[in-house]
Amino acid sequence: MFSARLSAKHVALACRSLSTSLKAGIPVAKSFDIAVNKSGDPQLRSVMRDVATQIRAGSDVASACRSFDGLWPDLFLNMIDVADRTGSLPEVLLSLADHYENNVRLLRDFRSQMVMPLVQLLAAVMIVAFMIWLLGGINLAEFSGKRGAGDQQAFDIIGLGLKGISGSLIWLSGWAMGAVSLFVGYQIARRSTAFKSIMHKFLMGIPVVGTCLQSFAIARFSWAFALTQEAGLPIQESLESSLAATDNGAFQAAAPRILNDVMNGVELTEALAHTKLFPEDFIQIVHVGETSGTIPETLARLSPEFEDQARRSLAALTSAIGWAIWLMVAAFIGYIVIRFFMLYAELINSLTSPG
């Protein structure tokens, strides 16, 4: 269930190598052999050797790659399937290489911008754990000189009853379990179509996050739809492939409704608008292209602009997440400071009260 997928970096290198070889007229199986020698990932080399073997045995590229479903990125599998049906494998592989290289750069930028907020959060968690351990061993009764039988009143710095070593361990375990739960939830959602649809529909309703997801989905849809239409695929197959290429559960879940509308004679513009997933400006662009009969050319021309918009959305999302973490840490520290002064006042009161 949790087997590691092939990294975007190595997939990008493989796609570019395959595209170059195929454009030079080298047979597909031999192109995979060449890409194997250029790959620095042992897992990818093993997979590509097996793919080449299956191709020599008569399998097409898409079927051979799908035998390793769960290792290849979903977008890669969907677009290779389109390429096999349209005879545009070199062009698709080159586009995939550009796409994954852009993703690697975006991910690197995202991680670099998230380092400091996450370090601040980790530092805050560790400092609180240390204070729970340190202050939990202080008994107010000892300071006040009123050490009656069974009288114990330890510092509770966060107000959750966590004191001493045991409290510190519970505090750290809670954060660790939260992180593990998020990871497991993500893995389940990523591999389950139903969970993926629910997760993406929920996330797309969140400001900034939803805009980012929508922008990337539309950029991929535009790219795939232009490619499949220019290759002459029927509208139904073109829409199915393009919606699958979005790698977005909300868009993929809308595919049956869009296809049903189109097959019943509804214009593509209206079919897309009914889903409420596409923004008004995109709908108008499709409408103009549909009216003039140039949807593929229009989307192909504008696809890079949609991709740039997606990158700007991701930059805004990264900034928003960073600020959210920083504000959470600041609020957390403020709460701890207030609790500390409350406990300090309690200690002073205990020391000065008569009797």
Q: Could you give the CA distance from residue 213 to residue 216 in angstroms, rounded to a whole number?
A: 5
The answer to whether the beta carbons of residues 65 and 77 sit under 8 Å apart is yes
The answer to whether the beta carbons of residues 255 and 240 sit under 8 Å apart is yes
Q: What percent of the chain has pLDDT above 90?
A: 16
- How high is the pLDDT of residue 151? 47
> What's the number of domains the chain is made of?
1
For residue 66, is it within any domain?
Answer: yes
Q: Which helix (H) or strand (E) is 221 found in, with range?
A: helix 209-230
Query: What b-and-e string marks burial along 45-64, b requiring 16 or more CB atoms within 10 Å of the CB?
Result: bebbeebbebbeeeebbbeb
**Distances 336 to 122, 126, 242, 322, 341 between C-alpha atoms, Å:** 15, 13, 51, 21, 9
For residue 191, is it within any domain?
Answer: no
For residue 327, is it within any domain?
Answer: no
Asked whether the predicted pLDDT for residue 54 surpasses 90, the reply is yes
- How high is the pLDDT of residue 1? 42
DSSP letter for each residue of 239-306 = HHHHHHHT--HHHHHTHHHHHHHHHTT--HHHHHHHTT-S-HHHHHHHHHHHHHT-HHHHHHHHHHHH
The answer to whether the beta carbons of residues 81 and 254 sit under 8 Å apart is no
CATH number, domain of 86, equals 1.20.81.30
- How high is the pLDDT of residue 257? 92
- How high is the pLDDT of residue 190? 66
For residue 37, is it within any domain?
Answer: yes
Supply the mean pLDDT for the chain. Answer: 82
Token pair of 24 as six digits: 């030079």
For residue 302, is it within any domain?
Answer: no
In this predicted model, what pLDDT tens digit does every residue of 228-247 receive, in sequence order? Answer: 787 777 888 888 888 887 88
3-state secondary structure of 154: strand
For residue 35, is it within any domain?
Answer: yes
Distance of CA 287 to the CA centre of its chain: 31
How confident is the model over 289-305, as a mean pLDDT? Answer: 83
Identify the domain containing residue 82 by its residue range: 8-102
For residue 171, is it within any domain?
Answer: no
Token pair of 174 as six digits: 């809670």
In this predicted model, what pLDDT tens digit does every residue of 180-217 receive, in sequence order? Answer: 988 887 777 666 677 778 888 888 888 878 888 888 88
For residue 75, is it within any domain?
Answer: yes
In this predicted model, what pLDDT tens digit does every residue of 118-172 receive, in sequence order? Answer: 888 888 888 888 878 877 666 555 555 555 444 445 666 777 777 778 888 998 9
Asked whether the predicted pLDDT for residue 30 surpasses 90, the reply is yes
